[in-house]
């Protein structure tokens, strides 16, 4: 039996086991973590070129994978690779580790609050890094951005059209340095207007608790990303559209809302807690027809993990 067939069989079995352990809440992992372990591809490629017997190549491959996972969990100071082995809650809270007070580039941006604005559209370019939502924002601000890291700075542009405000946050020229510490962004949003979001998060980690905000439309385009969002019931209708490649998607919805999921997935692990299948790729909660607050979700995902739960 060839090494190549055995190797890919072992890889698929290991990925399947990781998905099972994540779904039952024993560990936490996401595709973003696995994406950052890409140097393993070079190691395994090198192993395949060593002129030894196939069973020795297989042993070396397994050892390389196990050793890599152990080392990044033991010595990583950024928190990027944490699998959360000792946390049994599958909604694992990853801490922002590391010293960001020195030797890192900081940036602060803001847009003033305008009481005549009742709807805000936010377009965010988040190619890489970690993005979280602040617990509070000054009452005289519509939005605040606090960035740490030395990849690149953001530009903020705003267009006011009567009662509607369009805000664009775009990353400027990025820098790759030997002492690169990545990027972490903390956003603050005013809770008065209705918010529409358009997020482009290629290989980023996005964790937003939007349960206390009025959310109209939420559009996410993700590649190898980690998406963790909690929605509320403060708007009559919330529409969510997610297009993802190899991503980890976690959505938390209030039980007070009727919810519908339309999904097209390929090699995807799905867990739709509290939903019933009513058609091909169509799932609904029992209170979808009677609830005055509705959340409509469309998901188009490739090799991803999708977990939608109710609270």
Query: Greatest CA span in the chain, whole angstroms?
Result: 73
CA dihedral 174, 124, 129, 148 (to 10 degrees): 70
Residue 286 pLDDT level (bands cut at 50, 70, 90): very high
pLDDT higher than 50, residue 89? no
Q: pLDDT: is 70 or 227 the higher one?
A: 227
Q: Model confidence over 213-225: pLDDT tens digits?
A: 999 999 998 877 7
Question: Among candidates 192, 191, 237, 246, which has minimal Cα distance to 217?
Answer: 237
Whole-prediction pTM: 0.71
Q: Model confidence over 34-62: pLDDT tens digits?
A: 666 667 777 777 877 788 887 787 788 78
Alpha-carbon span 200 to 202, nearest angstrom: 6
CA dihedral 14, 97, 207, 90 (to 10 degrees): 40
Alpha-carbon span 78 to 278, nearest angstrom: 43
- Burial code (b: 16+ CB inside 10 Å, e: under 16) for 83-93 equals bbeebeebebe
Q: Model confidence over 137-193: pLDDT tens digits?
A: 999 999 999 988 766 788 999 999 888 999 999 987 655 443 444 678 999 999 999
SS3 at position 56: helix
For the chain, percent of residues with pLDDT exceeding 90 = 39
- What is the reported pLDDT for 209? 95
Q: Model confidence over 96-126: pLDDT tens digits?
A: 444 444 445 688 999 999 999 999 999 998 8
**How many CA atoms, within 13 angstroms, populate the side-chain half-sphere of residue 278?**
14
Alpha-carbon span 109 to 275, nearest angstrom: 40
Give the pLDDT mean for 272-283.
92
């Amino acid at each position: 039996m060839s090494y190549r067939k055995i190797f890919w069989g072992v890889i698929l079995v290991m990925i399947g086991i990781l998905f099972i352990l994540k779904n039952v809440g024993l560990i936490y992992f996401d595709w973003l973590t696995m994406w950052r372990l890409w140097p393993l591809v070079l190691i395994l490629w090198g192993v395949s070129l060593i002129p030894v017997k196939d069973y020795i190549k297989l042993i070396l491959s397994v050892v390389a994978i196990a050793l890599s996972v152990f080392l990044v969990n033991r010595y990583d100071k950024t928190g990027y690779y944490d699998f959360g082995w000792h946390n049994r809650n599958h909604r694992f809270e990853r801490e922002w580790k590391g010293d960001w007070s020195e030797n890192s580039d900081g940036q602060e941006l803001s847009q003033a609050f305008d009481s005549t604005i009742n709807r805000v559209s936010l377009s965010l370019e988040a190619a890489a890094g970690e993005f979280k939502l602040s617990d509070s924002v000054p009452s005289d601000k519509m939005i605040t951005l606090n960035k740490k890291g030395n990849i690149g700075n953001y530009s903020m542009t705003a267009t006011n059209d009567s009662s509607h405000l369009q805000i664009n946050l775009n990353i400027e020229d990025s820098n790759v340095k030997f002492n690169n510490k990545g990027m972490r962004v903390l956003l603050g949003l005013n809770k008065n207007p209705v918010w529409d979001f358009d997020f482009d998060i290629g290989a980023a980690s996005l964790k937003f608790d939007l349960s206390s905000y009025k959310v109209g439309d939420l559009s996410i385009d993700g590649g190898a990303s980690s998406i963790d969002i909690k929605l509320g019931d403060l708007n009559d209708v919330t529409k969510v559209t997610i297009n993802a490649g190899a991503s980890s998607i976690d959505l938390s919805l209030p039980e007070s809302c009727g919810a519908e999921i339309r999904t097209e997935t390929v090699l995807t692990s799905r867990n739709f807690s509290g939903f019933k299948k009513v058609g091909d790729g169509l799932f609904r909660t029992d209170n979808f027809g009677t609830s005055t607050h509705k959340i409509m979700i469309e998901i188009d995902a490739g090799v991803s993990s999708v977990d939608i739960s109710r609270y």
